[in-house]
């Protein structure tokens, strides 16, 4: 059964933190969106349910690494002289590749507010995703089945039109 995040409820507010802390970045995929795949710590529980072994985070909205002002300077510096339509995208891909292949990129905490989702890694790096949608959704987290295809009747957390909905399987 789908539920809406209540930001006045600490359990709801910490749901994504409880789901993702200890998860490590296993892969990322980029075509028209970025999809990050994490291996989760299946010993962790949320609502008395073990977290799934793998989840995918599809990022559909605005996002960046670290401090926003520093990020803008980095993008400007690394794309100077190029006429990219979307200059952030190659820099985001570079940063994800660096994060993925630097060893063990593990999530140490997740902070969810009404404005943004912030994921902090053990390498003093962070990703911030705005909750305001460019299209319908800003970001989506889905449990991945054994064949790596999302299955909509399992775990999910979706930020849609600035509201966040989740499902924990029975």
**In this predicted model, what pLDDT tens digit does every residue of 109-123 receive, in sequence order?**
999 999 999 999 998
How sure is the predictor about 154, in pLDDT bands with cuts at 50, 70 and 90?
confident
Contact call for residues 52 and 43 (beta carbons, < 8 A) = no
Quote the strand ranges of the chain, DSSP E: 3-4, 24-30, 34-39, 45-46, 49-50, 54-59, 63-65, 107-112, 116-121, 126-130, 137-143, 156-160, 163-167
Quote the pTM value: 0.89
**In this predicted model, what pLDDT tens digit does every residue of 76-112 receive, in sequence order?**
999 998 888 889 999 999 999 999 998 789 999 999 9
Q: What rounded mean pLDDT belongs to the chain?
A: 88
Q: Which two tokens stand for residue 39?
A: 């291996």
How sure is the predictor about 170, in pLDDT bands with cuts at 50, 70 and 90?
low
């Amino acid at each position: 059964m789908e539920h809406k995040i209540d930001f006045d409820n600490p359990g709801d507010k910490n749901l994504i933190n409880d789901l993702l802390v200890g998860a490590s970045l296993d892969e990322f995929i980029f075509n028209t969106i970025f999809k990050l795949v994490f291996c989760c710590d299946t010993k962790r529980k949320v609502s008395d349910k073990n977290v799934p072994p793998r989840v995918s985070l599809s990022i559909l909205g605005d996002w960046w690494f670290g401090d926003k002002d520093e990020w803008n300077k980095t993008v400007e510096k690394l794309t100077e002289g190029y006429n990219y339509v979307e200059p952030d995208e190659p820099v985001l891909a570079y940063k994800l590749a660096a994060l993925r292949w630097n060893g063990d990129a593990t999530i140490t905490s997740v902070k969810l507010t009404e404005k943004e989702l912030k994921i902090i890694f053990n390498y003093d790096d962070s990703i911030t995703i705005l909750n305001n949608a460019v299209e319908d959704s800003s970001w989506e987290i889905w449990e991945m089945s054994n064949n790596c295809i999302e299955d909509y009747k399992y775990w999910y957390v979706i930020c849609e039109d600035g509201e966040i909905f989740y499902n924990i399987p029975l």
